[in-house]
Amino acid sequence: MSEKSMIRDLTEGPVVPQLVGFAFPLFLSNALQAVYNLVDLMVVGRYIGGAGMSAVSIGGDILHLLTFIAMGFSSAGQVIIARSVGAGRRDEIKKTIGALFTFLLSAALVMAAVCFALRHHILRWLNTPAESLAYSLDYTVTCVFGLVFIYGYNVVSAILRGMGDSRRPFVFIAIAAVLNMVLDVLFVKYLGMAVFGAALATVIGQGTSFIIALIYLYRRRESFGFDFKPASFRIEKAAFRRLVSLGIPMAIQSAAISFSKIVLMAWINMFGVAYSALAGVFNKINTMSGVISQSFTTAGSSMTGQNLGAAKYKRVTHILLTVLGFGLGFAMLASAVMLLAPDFVYGLFTHDTSVLALAGVLTLPIILNFFGAATRSAAFSLINGSGRPGLNLAIAIIDGVFARIGLAALLGFALGLDCYGFWMGDALAGFMPLLIGGTFYLSGRWRK
């Protein structure tokens, strides 16, 4: 494959079809990636019940927190690669790839070791219900051993997407998602492996995805100048500084939001296993709605990064408005489904009557989260694409700490709304990136 076919120019042509063409494979990829934990929750909910759902919910939140470094630095690497492509700086691509691989795979091993050592303490800090404690331990420990696969897949996907290729990451994750779904049913329903079986299916799927993606990248190494020799994995100082300057704020942002969700989970767990299971339903519906937002954020960030590198500022505005329009359209459609058929939606996750009896409390917070996700996609397309680490750090602090935890505590504890207040606080905090991103856009500083 030639370099021309490996690197995609996103600075020319109609914005809408180009954005949709880039975002659609991302949507499919992200949807399938979200399906991993979602399928675990649905299969476990149907064959084990509320205790199993609670375990998958708690383990899933822990795993998501552990990926904050991967999410932050892979997003940063994607933006740097996209800007290097737009500006024609091919030498920076190779150096960024080497730093990204070495740093993130090393970080995965460290994170996995630390989490395994603290596994009992972590579940105790989260007020894990006694009914789901053993299941939670099985799920968390098993998924931790697959952390290196999650980090590795994020690296390969960031490289390809930074070069304008969103289709192949979808193919990789599709193979793994299908494998995960098949193994989930086999392990949990037919082999009786309970929650451990669901976690094992997830790890096998993630490992398959990473290995296939790595083989693809290796076979096409000549087209983008990274030869995979040991010397190429040496961390070059200038490239690592660029990666760290953008990656740390993005990682802090991801960690802050994940940490806030962990705090909310600990508060919700105090109200019993039914509410703990319900938290899993809330998180998974929001994860699926975030698939659209994340897809357009990733596509918008890459397009914004390349167009800023090429100094095409009017085109950037067109990109942002298009991202916002698609996000709002999806939010309205999804809200209509939640209002018209809430019992059907909640029934997809479990038949446990104790959980379903409480599910109506989630409807309004979920709808607010739909619209928050729509506005975040446009804001982060600009902030991430322009490579502004200070703004990512501001959002991490304001959204992840003060707004999300603060509003949840105010509504849940101070006003006595309990779990409903926690979920409403989480939903309202999701509009903070819009305020910061909108102010940044109106200031015009993103052109510099």
Which tokens sit at 236?
Answer: 């070059």
Cβ pair 140, 123 in contact under 8 A: yes
Tokens 């697959």 locate to 146
Strand, coil or helix: 349: coil
Closest CA to 391 of 334, 434, 327: 434
Residues of the chain under the 50 pLDDT cut: 1-5
Closest CA to 163 of 231, 99, 94: 94
Q: What pLDDT is recorded for position 117?
A: 93
Query: 219 Cβ partners below 8 Å, 6+ apart?
Result: none
Q: What pLDDT is recorded for position 87?
A: 64
Closest CA to 334 of 350, 343, 345: 345
Which tokens sit at 384?
Answer: 């991430």
Cβ pair 432, 260 in contact under 8 A: no
Q: What pLDDT is recorded for position 33?
A: 65
| 104 secondary structure, DSSP code | H
Query: 21 Cβ partners below 8 Å, 6+ apart?
Result: none
Tokens 């928050």 locate to 372
Q: What pLDDT is recorded for position 78?
A: 83
Burial class (CB in 10 A: 0-12, 13-18, 19+), 230: exposed
Closest CA to 170 of 76, 33, 331: 33
Q: What pLDDT is recorded for position 5?
A: 44
Q: What pLDDT is recorded for position 160?
A: 81
Which tokens sit at 438?
Answer: 């909108």
Residue 129 sits at φ, ψ, to 5 deg, of -60, 145
Strand, coil or helix: 166: coil
Whole-prediction pTM: 0.70
Q: What pLDDT is recorded for position 387?
A: 73
Q: What pLDDT is recorded for position 34?
A: 66
Which tokens sit at 428?
Answer: 């309202």
Domain boundaries, the chain: 7-447
Annotate 373-421 with three-state secondary structure: HHHHHHHHHHHHHCCCHHHHHHHHHHHHHHHHHHHHHHHHHHCCCHHHH
d(CA 82, CA 160): 10
Which tokens sit at 229?
Answer: 């020799």
d(CA 154, CA 69): 10
